[in-house]
Structure 1
């Protein structure tokens, strides 16, 4: 197929549509965070049990990205994304009818699984649609969908809660996912590659770079989604803030990260990739530690800067994955790394932070996470493929 050589005209329009798909995918993945205090109160469960929703979301996401990494190339990236969008529409229409907390675990898993199919198909699709010299910009612009979602989702929740119950928010998302599936079917072209062979799978899991990148992504995801997921509980239950005020702080704290994600796409080709990643992760760790020890008075300030630096890691991290792994294993590598990062960083970490909140305090758990993120930052210098 003919590749877009510049980010203009049809190439830019298509990229912004992919951007919206990633935005709405990421938004539904994190929407439980701003409404979690309401869910916790309605079902009368502890912080730890409420936070365990993120384990099932992440487990489903991890399995989804692994399956997509294995099969999306042969099935077709277009078809894989359409399946993801239709499944998301169905699950979102069903969640409002769940009145048993254990069933909410099941639907959280299905929600995560459906979201997980998307990215291992989207990143290779971008590298097929756009020339290599545009990868950094295209991937970074696409990835800002996550940054905008992290900023906008609490505000979307506050707005929708004025008109609907928390359950009905999922109905609204369901309509959008169905419309997106129809539009994507009409405007995209199918791209297929052969499935990774067993020998190729054995080869990739022996790559040291795969595991080093996975560890980096796990702790970056923990500092990003892990912190984000429990912040409303931390602000409302421990720091005694109002739910509307807490979600406003959460949203505003993510505003600056949008510009950083875009900027990273333009600096990634001008500076040493490993050094930029190290700086982003190390400074993230420092602000994460401060987040756990600072008082309510300065919490918004620390959240703002912590979000800026942790968000900058992800578009650069995706570019690093694209450069480390060859075309035929890129989707699989993306799937494995994302699966591990979301399962541990986006699932287990919020759960452990919730347990910390039940037993001692959220702040202590956040400080420990910050120290672990700091220790992981040096791993980037051991990835030879990025020299």
Structure 2
């Protein structure tokens, strides 16, 4: 397996996901500065998710015409420019607009990179390559709260994101040198989209992605608020605990790729959804700090297992010319209806009831969704 391309891809995905992951530990600061409700703060995540999903859908259909490498470079460069522009944002509307634009730039990456990875590596290595690549998300989730909590002691949080933005302008130069452009396929895009959505596995994967995204990034987005506002933790302690609890996900995302190649995506999808749902449920009902700590570590690690398996499953359920469209359609569904809607809904539920109530129902729904994985097939 060639390691240099995967190393560069890993860093691109790390920067992309670090930007997204940084929104969660920063959200309490924005909420206090702008005097926002929990629902209004969660709405910023929704704006990001709407932009992310829109680009995923568009890029999934047209990336083969635009060029896979060009799309990746445009997206990462766009993130850098927006993070620089964020330095002058002062009002709630400005944060909404920049969150939307940040989502638009970030969403260009995934439909393109999976096709580049499957072009670079042989079929038997897809699970391992995608799992190793996706471990960058785990590292970003682990480091973002810790680095933000540490960094704000010395710099304004906007300056921390400025440094990330500068890195986003530099790294695409290395990506362009080491990456390989997938061979373009001649296809009728409209008919392929229709054929794609006529197939039951695509709808099942979209629903599973929605619920898993809600339990993963949806809950992740609001956890700092939950720990600080509802569990009464101090800001730095909550974010350090929040970040450290993510460390188990790094090993899970690497290991899950090997399990997928060995046992098949159906079994591993079912297992990942079941454990994600149960651990999310336990996060809401933990009565003591010790049990809450255990639940945090379990939920953080287990909720990450779904996504490398899902990407490998989509790669196997679609033909090469459909792959970017399939990834764009399925992941964008998870982003807008799972990752995007969940923070808003959790915030609204918290304003009227509690965060615990919203997280409880999120865990129940995800647990029951695991049984749908058995209906996936290759037709």
TM-score range, shorter chain: over 0.9
TM-superposed deviation, 1:187: 2.9
Preserved contact between residue 95 and residue 167 of structure 1 (Cα < 8 Å): yes
Cα RMSD after superposing both structures: 1.3
2:111 is matched with 120
Preserved contact between residue 80 and residue 164 of structure 2 (Cα < 8 Å): yes
Normalising by structure 2, we get a TM-score of: 0.97
1:254 is matched with 246
Q: 1:342 aligns with which of 305, 327, 335?
A: 335
Closer, same or farther in 2 for the Cα pair 1:238/1:296, shift >3 Å?
Answer: farther
Asked if 1:108 is matched to 2:99, the reply is yes
Preserved contact between residue 288 and residue 370 of structure 1 (Cα < 8 Å): yes
Preserved contact between residue 239 and residue 296 of structure 1 (Cα < 8 Å): no
TM-superposed deviation, 1:196: 4.9
Alignment of structure 1 residues 201-216 onto 2, 5 Å: 201-216=193-208
Q: Where does the alignment leave 5 or more consecutive residues of structure 1 unmatched?
A: 1-6
Distance 2:331 2:305 in 1: 16
Distance 1:143 1:29 in 2: 14
TM-superposed deviation, 1:375: 1.9
TM-superposed deviation, 1:197: 1.8
Preserved contact between residue 146 and residue 244 of structure 2 (Cα < 8 Å): no
1:325 is matched with 318
- Secondary structure at the counterpart of residue 269 of structure 1: helix
Of stretches 184-193 and 43-52 in structure 1, the one that deviates more from structure 2 is 184-193
Asked if 1:197 is matched to 2:158, the reply is no
Distance 2:257 2:37 in 1: 41
TM-superposed deviation, 1:278: 0.8
Alignment of structure 1 residues 59-74 onto 2, 5 Å: 59-74=50-65
TM-superposed deviation, 1:296: 4.8
Distance 2:135 2:26 in 1: 23
Preserved contact between residue 51 and residue 230 of structure 1 (Cα < 8 Å): yes
- Secondary structure at the counterpart of residue 190 of structure 1: coil
Preserved contact between residue 6 and residue 133 of structure 2 (Cα < 8 Å): yes
1:31 is matched with 22
2:214 is matched with 222
Alignment of structure 1 residues 1-387 onto 2, 5 Å: 7=1, 11-194=2-185, 196-297=188-289, 298-385=291-378
Distance 1:19 1:370 in 2: 30
Distance 1:296 1:248 in 2: 19
Preserved contact between residue 116 and residue 180 of structure 2 (Cα < 8 Å): no
Normalising by structure 1, we get a TM-score of: 0.95
- Secondary structure at the counterpart of residue 359 of structure 2: helix
Q: Where does the alignment leave 5 or more consecutive residues of structure 2 unmatched?
A: none
Closer, same or farther in 2 for the Cα pair 1:32/1:196, shift >3 Å?
Answer: farther
Preserved contact between residue 71 and residue 112 of structure 2 (Cα < 8 Å): yes
